[in-house]
């Protein structure tokens, strides 16, 4: 699949928020709810956004801005900017080309892409559509042999890193999705989990606790087990606590992703930008720390980098681009974010990623 020219996008589309409006017009109510909803009354979703407003940028003038760049090497993957597409399940809900379109866009913009275990396209086909190495997001399944086979498939298909998500042993209660009556349309399913037998039946009166699903939920020992399965770098996604970060590093993982799953799993959590400093301090530079949640602009990205993140992932922003205009929409979203980041870097006097630190921020009272 070739990337259509960006000139196809109307010049009035200037920001990620513009894409949100376009996506909403194009999607049915159920798909919109699945792709955008958060848990409960969505206070975590709101916090992820409002957390960024607690920091402002400190402009610095007349500095030498020559030779600047946003390029970065992460786990052997060269990125044009510290921006990756977050793992997002069932992308065919947003556009018929689904994950294939996202992979084409990520390759064209030299951005990272993390492919979900719950992708709606085979992970081998997504890797084949990309011209840059992708990372594979792993949900450890109740059937560990099936999990082992998934990791082997990802390695064989050329994925360059494993991102193990640890914050969703169960789905969140997304009330907005329930109210919208969301159901998967025919033809959209987790194709990479075909052949996985369901967990044994729960007792009739069991809701979640005490069910075989939760009994088999991943534990710390599983990180050590995963380490034995693959030589690929392993990142742990879904860390919101400094002690958990330290424990993950001690288990031999290679990177941390500070994330509350975009507010989709548990309501009433702090913003990821609020949790980031504690986790950066706990990790103490031993492994790279990445972050996602609520990032909608280049200034948001800048703030995370200033607080110690090495790179960011974006979820809903690229889903909006995908729904609005397929691969070209995703590519445009990535370009907007990078362009906004570069302006923020230039006007704060930080021509390189290494130059960005907390001196570039002001804490709002
Ligand atoms: C529709 C949707 C599906 C998602 N599916 C996954 C998934 O399969 N695996 C995962 O680790 N995270 C998943 N996430 C969470 C994202 O990877 C990411 O943490 C979150 O979207 C970041 O917040 P943002 O949407 O505000 O950028 C999903 C998010 C959305 C919006
Ligand atoms: C048991 C967790 C399933 C999560 C499926 C996809 C996801 O992460 C999300 O929708 O968010």
- Is pLDDT of 365 > 80? no
Task: Give residue 6's pLDDT band: very low, low, confident or very high (50, 70, 90).
Answer: confident
- To the query of whether residue 142 is one of the catalytic residues in this protein, the response is no
Task: Give residue 230's pLDDT band: very low, low, confident or very high (50, 70, 90).
Answer: very high
CATH domain 18-57+69-182+215-363 topology: TIM Barrel (3.20.20)
Query: Ligand 2 pocket test: which of 33, 89, 163 has the largest number of ligand atoms within 8 Å of its C-beta?
Result: 89
In this predicted model, what pLDDT tens digit does every residue of 310-336 receive, in sequence order?
Answer: 999 999 999 999 999 999 999 999 999
| 3-state SS, one letter per residue, for the chain | CCCCCHHHCCCCCCCHHHHHHHHHHHCCHHHHHHHHCCCCCCHHHHHHHHHHHCEEECCCCCCCCCCCECCEEECCEEECCCEEECCCCCHHHCCCCHHHHHHHHHHHCCCEEEECCCCCCCHHHHHHHCCCCCEEEECCCCCHHHHHHHHHHHHHCCCCEEEEECCCCCCCCCHHHHHCCCCCCCCCCCHHHCCCCCCCCCCCCCCCCCCHHHHCCCCHHHHHHHHHHCCCCEEEEEECCHHHHHHHHHCCCCEEEECCHHHCCCCCCCCHHHHHHHHHHHHCCCCCEEEECCCCCHHHHHHHHHCCCCEEEECHHHHHHHHHHHHHHHHHHHHHHHHHHHHHHHHCCCCEHHHCCHHHEEECC
- Is pLDDT of 271 > 90? yes
Query: Ligand 2 pocket test: which of 44, 140, 168 has the largest number of ligand atoms within 8 Å of its C-beta?
Result: 168
Ligand 1 binding residues, C-beta < 6 A: 35, 48, 86-89, 116, 118, 137, 165, 237, 259, 261-262, 264, 292-295, 314-316
Arithmetic mean of pLDDT, 180-188: 98
Mean pLDDT of the chain: 97
Asked casually if ipTM beats, i.e. exceeds, 0.85, the reply is: yes
pTM: 0.98
Q: State which ligand 1 atom lies nearest to the alpha carbon of 294.
A: 26
In this predicted model, what pLDDT tens digit does every residue of 142-153 receive, in sequence order?
Answer: 999 999 999 999
Percent of the chain with pLDDT over 90: 97
- Is pLDDT of 3 > 90? no
- Is pLDDT of 340 > 80? yes
- Is pLDDT of 4 > 90? no
């Amino acid at each position: 699949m070739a990337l259509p020219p960006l000139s196809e996008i109307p010049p009035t589309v200037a920001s990620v928020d513009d894409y949100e409006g376009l996506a909403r017009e194009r999607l049915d109510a159920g798909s919109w709810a699945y792709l955008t909803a958060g848990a409960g009354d969505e206070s975590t979703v709101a916090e992820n956004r409002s957390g960024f407003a607690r920091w402002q940028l400190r402009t610095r003038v007349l500095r030498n801005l020559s030779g600047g760049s946003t390029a970065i090497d992460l786990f052997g993957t060269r990125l044009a900017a510290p921006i990756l597409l977050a793992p997002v399940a069932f992308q065919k809900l947003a556009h018929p080309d689904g994950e294939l379109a996202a992979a084409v866009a990520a390759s064209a913009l030299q951005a990272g892409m993390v492919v979900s275990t719950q992708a709606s396209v085979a992970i081998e086909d997504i890797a084949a559509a990309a011209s840059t190495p992708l990372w594979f997001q792993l949900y450890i399944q109740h059937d560990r042999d099936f999990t082992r086979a998934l990791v082997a498939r990802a390695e064989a298909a050329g994925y360059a890193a494993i991102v193990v998500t640890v914050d969703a042993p169960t789905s969140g209660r997304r009330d907005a999705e329930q109210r919208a009556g969301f159901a998967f349309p025919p033809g959209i399913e987790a194709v990479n989990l075909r052949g996985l037998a369901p967990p044994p039946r729960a007792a009739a009166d069991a809701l979640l606790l005490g069910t075989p699903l939760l009994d088999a939920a991943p534990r710390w020992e599983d990180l050590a087990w995963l380490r034995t399965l693959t030589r690929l770098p392993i990142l742990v996604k879904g860390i919101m606590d400094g002690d958990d970060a330290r424990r993950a590093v001690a288990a031999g993982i290679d990177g941390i992703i500070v994330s509350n799953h975009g507010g989709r799993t548990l309501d009433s959590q702090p913003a990821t930008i609020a949790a980031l400093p504690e986790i950066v301090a706990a990790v103490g530079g031993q492994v790279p720390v990445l972050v996602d949640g609520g990032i909608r602009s280049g200034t948001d990205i800048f703030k995370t980098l200033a607080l110690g993140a090495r790179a960011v992932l974006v979820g809903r922003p690229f889903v909006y681009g995908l729904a609005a205009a397929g691969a070209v929409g995703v590519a445009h979203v990535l370009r907007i974010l990078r362009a906004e980041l570069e302006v923020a870097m230039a006007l704060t006097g930080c021509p390189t990623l290494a130059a960005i630190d907390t001196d570039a921020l002001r804490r709002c009272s």
